[in-house]
Amino acid sequence: MGARNVTRTIIVETPSKPGNLGKVTTAIGLFGGDIGEIKTRQIGPYSTVRDITVQCESEEQLETAIAAVEQLGEGIHVRAVSDDVLHAHEGGKIHMSSRFDIRSIDDLRKVYTPGVANVCRAIEEDPSLAQYYTSIGNTVAIITDGTAILGLGNIGPLAGMPVMEGKAALFDRLAGISGIPILLDTSDPDEVVTTVKRISKGFGGILLEDIGSPHCFEIEERLIEELDIPVMHDDQHGTAVVTLAAVMSACRSAGVNLKEAVVGQIGLGAAGLAICRMFMAYGVKEMVGVDRQPAALDRLAMYGGTPAHSLEEIMEKCDIVIATTGVPNLIKPEWVREGQVILALSNPKPEIEPDEAIKAGALFAADGRSVNNVLGFPGIFRGALNAGAKRITHDMLVAAATAISNHTKPGQLVPHPLDLKAHQIVAEAVEMAVMKEE
């Protein structure tokens, strides 16, 4: 199981003099705290109060960082520590609501009985009308078995529900799609496939989420083959889309021809293998990968990639290196080759820190905080649903990645994940890709 990330808001009071905020953030950073948002609560003639969001790998690390701030002295105090994340989840993050205002008996007759019977009979006679007269065409099932929840590992579907609710909230806010979490108390591929097929009539698409490797490959492939609605495993293809977009942006900044470059993938789990397939679909001629599991190397070879013998071989041979292993500091600085582009995407700690990679000779380096797969799945499904697509293809995914990269401002890897225009552009690109395939 991965490290348990702890996020808290530290309320800090400092004297109103330049440099004190820097002392606080330095103290937190020295003990491994990752600083997020900083908000100023109050500015007075003598002191300033700020909310500083801090993420640590454990409660112990957080307590050490807080103690370091307290020990600064010189009028610097930690007033309180707030768990805003838990507060935000009280009662859940989503709620089913009616799009129709029901205030009278006449309203009731329209939305329920007896009027609804006419709509039922219309759909019975022509099932395609369900796309028009119900919410099915704008609803996606978000399905998990809880075996690969974020960096937490196999913690079960119930503990994964906050993630599924988060996906549903993002679907709604970023793409106007109704996402419905479905928690499966089984990881057996036959049972998962059978269950999803039996409930699929009520949905316009299926998003598989946080399902572990290797059974995630079989589940997705079988559902794509056996259903006539879009199916996508976000940990595979959503991650791959945004990774491709980020590398396209990095290559544009570095003056590297991505299609002619040798690309190396370290870690061939769900995300890593999908990244390889995505890059090959884009047109990368030589895709090399490495993994500790022989079966993962066999899968890469099956899809047309080249297995490597070692991590050192990847670092020596490849112009662009992507890592998704979950192992901090896996890449040693002395392995970095002059002029490489390196994306070490594991969170919360990358395989190599970007500044270390640059210092060792990399032309460009970034970590997982710069690459957020939220940019992918809402627009991909919006475009697929708008176009009435039966499945999500690599051409559609490459179109999404290209749209993300083209919308990226100079100096960035990808757009801000809450940039609504970016999600709209992704949806339009996917819809156009569907039209080209028809």
- The answer to whether residues 251 and 187 touch, using CB atoms and an 8 Å cutoff, is no
Q: Which of 398, 72, 59 is nearest to 258 (CA)?
A: 398
Q: What is the rounded distance in angstroms from the CA atom of residue 433 to the CA atom of residue 438?
A: 9
**Paired residues of 8 in beta bridges:** 54
Q: What is the rounded distance in angstroms from the CA atom of residue 407 to the CA atom of residue 412?
A: 10
Catalytic positions: 112, 167
The phi, psi pair for 57, rounded to 5°, reads -80, -20
The angle, 0 to 180 degrees and rounded to 10, between the axes of the packed helices 161-175 and 377-387 is 60
Whats the size of the chain, residue-wise? 438
**13-48 as b/e: b if 16+ CB within 10 A:** bbeeeeebbeebbebbeebbbbbeeeeeeeeeeebb
Cis peptide bond upstream of 214, omega within 30: yes
- C-alpha 87 chain-centroid distance: 23
Query: Residue 164: CB partners within 8 Å, gap ≥ 6?
Result: 142, 144, 181, 182, 183, 209
